[in-house]
Amino acid sequence: MELEDGYLKLGFDRLSAFAFKVPPFDPAANPDVKPPTGEEQIPGWLKDLNGKKAMVTGFMLPIKMDGNLVTEFLLLSDPMMCCYGAVPEMNQWIVVKMKKGGVRPVQDIPISFYGDLKVGAMFENGYMTGIYSMDCDKMGAVQG
């Protein structure tokens, strides 16, 4: 794989190149049961990237702000997802948290983000929220 400034260049073409179906689970009906992770569906080569420094380009969808800066966001493979009713597949987004401070919100323009990639199921209140996350070091230059 190609490196850029010591970060593996990863694209959503690779991150979403496999089918991932969220295992059925109702946390309300099974509060004491650990939810299934579905991690057997994630290819081994992708699991091997867990904890590696990676650079991924995508479209920002802000989740948390601190003043005028975005501190947490979804990095999407396609700008049309979420906003226009097209629900993305679980492997078509990354939950990104900035390590220090925040970045200015930039939407509808593809941007690269650099950080520590985590591969594996994430849960909130018993519900699966994603299979990719990144603790982000920096945002690339905005083109245009």
pLDDT at 37 over 70: yes
The domain segmentation of the chain, as residue ranges, is 3-27+35-139
Q: Which 8-state DSSP code applies to residue 86? A: B
What's this model's pTM, rounded to 2 decimal places?
Answer: 0.91
Closest among 49, 43, 36 to 18, alpha carbons compared? 43
Given this model, what pLDDT does residue 140 score? 93
Closest among 77, 141, 51, 50 to 103, alpha carbons compared? 141
Given this model, what pLDDT does residue 82 score? 54
pLDDT band of residue 71 (cuts 50, 70, 90) is: very high
Cβ atoms of residues 93 and 130 within 8 Å = yes
Given this model, what pLDDT does residue 85 score? 61
Nearest-5° angle of CA 139, CA 73, CA 83?
120
Average pLDDT of the segment spanning 11-37: 91
Cβ atoms of residues 139 and 56 within 8 Å = no
Report how far residue 18's alpha carbon sits from residue 13's, in angstroms, rounded to the nearest whole number.
Answer: 10
50 or 1, greater pLDDT: 50
Q: Any residues with CB less than 8 A from the CB of 40 and at least 6 apart, and which?
A: none
User: In CATH, which of 3.40.50.970, 2.40.50.870, 1.10.260.40, 1.20.1530.20 is domain 3-27+35-139?
Assistant: 2.40.50.870
- Residue pLDDT, tens place only, 74-112: 999 987 755 556 678 899 999 999 999 999 999 889 999
- SS3 of residue 39 by DSSP: helix
**How far from each other are the two terminal CA atoms of the chain, in whole angstroms?**
27
Q: Any residues with CB less than 8 A from the CB of 73 and at least 6 apart, and which?
A: 60, 61, 62, 63, 64, 96
- Residue pLDDT, tens place only, 107-132: 889 999 999 999 999 998 888 999 99
Report how far residue 135's alpha carbon sits from residue 97's, in angstroms, rounded to the nearest whole number.
Answer: 5
Phi, then psi, of 64 in degrees rounded to 5: -130, 135
